[in-house]
Amino acid sequence: MPSILWKRLDLEGHDACRIVECDDGWDIAGNAVFDHQGDAANLAYRLNCDRSWLSRKATIGGWIGSRDIHILIDRAEDGHWYVNGEKNVDFRGLVDIDLGFTPASNTNAIRRMNLEKGRQSESVAVWLDTEDWSVKALPQVYRRLDANTYDYSSPLHEYHAELSVSEFGLVVEYPALWRMINCRSDLEEKGRGTGR
């Protein structure tokens, strides 16, 4: 299983994560500790995907300063999404979860898309916005430049970056935001396995 430590580049912070292959899919679980607008933040997360890396559920728990954070994002079998138990009809049919405070949730999209070099995919993610900690729809575009580089853009924010990734699809360098400083993996050798 891959275990990763990322360092945040735009402010103080780290994210420790591991990915575990389960009987029916994949679990991405970690803990991010970082400065958030002058407050200390400590957030544990778990993102569950099926065998083809379609996102099924995410739980986020912890605190930011004096504020407790408890968020459950869940996709039902009929394709409807629920956020803390409330149905959001605008998310129906979406297949990716993007947690805005960790690079771990780029992996599930990269693995699911399984792009060949030169190909691109546009999708809309169920996205946790760290500005107000609400869950929103976020259009995204991934284009694979070579074996370990993706051109990523978020048209809504006019954001664009080239992501360096490992063989498994883990972010190695997210320009000006995150850098991998440690990774151990017995799955890296199987990087082109299921869903990639």
72-128 pLDDT per residue, tens: 999 999 999 999 999 999 999 999 999 999 999 999 999 999 999 999 999 999 999
Quote the pLDDT of residue 109. Answer: 97
118-139 pLDDT per residue, tens: 999 999 999 999 999 999 999 9
State whether the Cα torsion 46-2-151-11 is positive or negative: positive
Quote the pLDDT of residue 156. Answer: 87
Residue 188 has pLDDT above 70, yes or no: no
Quote the pLDDT of residue 185. Answer: 74
Q: Which residues contact 82 (CB under 8 A, 6 or more apart)?
A: 72, 73, 74, 75, 76, 88
Task: Tell me the CA distances in angstroms from 79 to 52, 75, 92, 135, 156, one per residue in order.
Answer: 15, 6, 5, 16, 24
Quote the pLDDT of residue 186. Answer: 58
Residues 46/20, Cβ–Cβ less than 8 Å: no
User: Can you tell me whether residue 90 is helix, strand or coil?
Assistant: helix
